[in-house]
Structure 1
Amino acid sequence: MLTGLNVAVIGGDARQLEVIRKLTELDAKLFLIGFDQLDHGFTGATKAKIDEVQFEEIDAIILPIPGTTQEGIIDTVFSNEEVKLTEELLSKTPAHCVIYSGITNSYLDNIVQSTNRTLVQLFERDDVAIYNSIPTVEGTIMMVIQHTDITIHGSKIAVLGLGRVGMSVARTFAALGAKVKVGARDTAHLARITEMGLTPFSLENLQKEVDDIDVCINTIPHLVITARVISNMPAHTLIVDLASKPGGTDFRYAEKRGIKALLAPGLPGIVAPKTAGQIVANVLTQLLNDLLIEGKGSS
């Protein structure tokens, strides 16, 4: 139980509804900011504007998976009102207050550091990332089916990166009968790709390796699918970029070349928000319980 814990949930999409549901069931006291258009009511949760919340009493702040923009703006699907997280606001919170976000950026890092608060990146946790790769893979399959005129079975697919998402993507498409090759830099990853029964290649040879593929799926969060790489792809190639914004693809050149390139971060929240929300809610429950026992009590 989370009785006695005051939590501010600021913005987010349908995934946050599962978080709210779980935390209210465990008797946490929630303040919902950026949810004024939400029809659903939750016992123990109060809708409020950001300037109406007494942040001096807040033990934890839960941000959406993307965190904030570089200007501090928080995405609010259930509100038209702009919500901004500021250094001044964080400085009002108790010293033990923890901020939870899926990912971070320099703005969020800076205001957390300047106020000496703790930031937990949920998507840096292996358990969250691995569980989350399941709806990501299902969403990727959906996009490939929708945007190609061939079957996955027998198609030639290049997956870039063998992280937690890349491994799940490569394994699943291979299980569906695709001819999958995986690009990586780490020699240990190249060995693992071979062990998985897939075809490994070094990312240094990416331009050469894409000359006969049908689909390129990127999971690497920096520019790897450059104009030079795109220029060597067949005209029918589909690029699905799963990396966080702005992705790892030169989308301008892809459009100029006539190659369909789709930026698809946050797929779990689109194709399976309930499941994706439950994954986050379960981990947050554990973390907030630890905060209640240890962090709050020691402040």
Structure 2
Amino acid sequence: MNIAIIGGDARYLELIRHLTKNPQMDLTIIGYDQLDKGFTGAKQAELEDIEPNKLDAVIIPVPGTDHQGYVETVFSDKQIQLKKDWFHSLKEGCIVFSGITTTFLNEAAGEAALQLVPLFDRDDVAIYNSIPTVEGTIMMAIQNTDFTIHSSNVVILGLGRVGMTLASKFAGLGAHVSVGSKHQSDLARITEMGLTPFSLEELTTHSPNCDLLINTIPAKVVTKEVIQVMKSHALIIDLASKPGGTDFKYAEQRGIKAMPAPGLPGIVAPKTAGAILGRVVSQILTEHISERSR
């Protein structure tokens, strides 16, 4: 398989190492000109040097593209733009991988009738990634507070794949954990876990007593009303994708530290996060090879 990796951060160095171990995969990397050319075991090239109609798969950075098709290039000073007509020039059956989708990426892949795989929408990737996310959250909590997690009041918003791991690990550290959700099934699960459940509508009755508030919900849930009644020493860590779910401006006015922290796995554990992506991408491509050979 001819695979192009276009842009990416430190996680993608491990992803590249993982894929180069497979003799069935021929890798070309674009946007890595600041690395030693012998470092990766893959061919380095410029975007204009590759032939899109010969590619079986394209892997673009975790954040996808911006609204103009530009991708993240941590290891290059050059900007890389993937225009919609470039996607149209990819060969039929080409798979496009990203971490998350964007409007531009959805439109470009849809119009070109390409299979788009947003890796973070997969349960396996999200659950594996919750481990470095939670470790990073614990690190941030320790570094930015003057009290122990043990015996502190921790409020977690959302019981998704990250929220579940957060609740389990903070409870394991001895915190008094309350979890807010709008789903009745989540509230039942929180009760089963021995933690305190509450509806998101009741957040303002729980925020006054919390020492640490952790949000995983990509919607404006930590509002002015929620922050207004919080203790002055409280810390807010927002793990939701940009722009987050917190009124950061009001938190600053109120003197409460509120920290946006999307993409923690790539910051605190890029090697592990990249290995996770490498295993899943390799599995998908191997299955694709098997299907083609039938």
Measured against the shorter chain, the TM-score band is over 0.9
Question: What are structure 2's unaligned runs of at least 5 residues?
Answer: none
Equivalent residue for 2:237?
A: 240
Q: Any residues of structure 2 matched to 1:243-282 within 5 Å, and which?
A: 243-282=240-279
Secondary structure at the aligned position of 2:194 is classed as coil
Distance in structure 2 (CA, Å) of the matches to 1:42 and 1:62: 19
The runs of at least 4 aligned residues of structure 1 exceeding 6 Å deviation read none
Higher mean displacement: 66-75 or 178-187 = 66-75
- CA shift, 1:40, in A, is 5.9
Task: Give the Cα separation in 2 of the matches to 1:165 and 1:40.
Answer: 37
Matched, 1:9 2:25: no
Change (3 A) 1:43 1:276: closer
1:21–1:42: 8 Å Cα contact kept in structure 2?
A: no
Q: Is the 8 A contact 1:160 1:166 kept in 2?
A: yes
Matching of residues 1-299 of structure 1 within 5 Å: 5-27=1-23, 28-39=25-36, 41-42=38-39, 44-294=41-291
Q: Deviations over 1:118-149 (max 9, x none)?
A: 10111111111111101111000000000000
The 3-state SS of whatever aligns with 1:211 is: helix
* SS at 2:201 equivalent: helix
Is the 2:17–2:40 Cα contact (8 Å) retained in structure 1? Answer: no
Distance 2:293 2:246 in 1: 47
Give the aligned length.
293
Superposition deviation, residue 179 in structure 1: 0.6
**Distance (Å, rounded) in 1 between the aligned partners of 2:151 and 2:142:** 13
Q: Which runs of 5+ in 1 are unaligned?
A: none
TM-score, normalised by the number of residues in structure 1: 0.95
For 2:6 and 2:283, how far apart are their aligned partners in 1?
19
Identical aligned residues as a percent: 55
Q: Within 2, Cα distance between the matches of 1:60 and 1:88?
A: 17
Displacement of 1:227 in angstroms is 1.4
CA drift at 1:297: 5.6
Q: How has the CA–CA distance of structure 1 residues 17 and 212 changed in structure 2, closer, same or farther, with 3 Å as cutoff?
A: same
How far off is 1:237 after superposition?
Answer: 1.1
Shift of 1:39: 2.2
Equivalent position SS for 1:170: helix
String of CA shifts for 1:52-90, please: whole Å, max 9, x gaps.
Answer: 111111110011111112222111110011111221111
Q: How far apart, CA to CA, are the structure 2 residues paired with 1:278 and 1:190?
A: 33
3-state DSSP of counterpart to 2:209? coil
Q: Supply the AA of the counterpart residue of 1:91.
A: H
Higher mean displacement: 181-190 or 226-235: 226-235
Please identify, of 249-258 and 146-155, the stretch whose mean Cα deviation from structure 2 is larger: 249-258
TM-score (norm 2): 0.97
Identify if the C-alpha distance between structure 1 residues 62 and 247 changes in structure 2 by more than 3 Å, giving closer, same or farther: same
**Secondary structure, in 3 states, of the residue corresponding to 1:262?**
strand
2:3 maps to amino acid:
V
* CA distance in structure 1 between the partners assigned to 2:82 and 2:234 by the alignment: 41
Worse-superposed segment, 39-48 or 264-273: 39-48
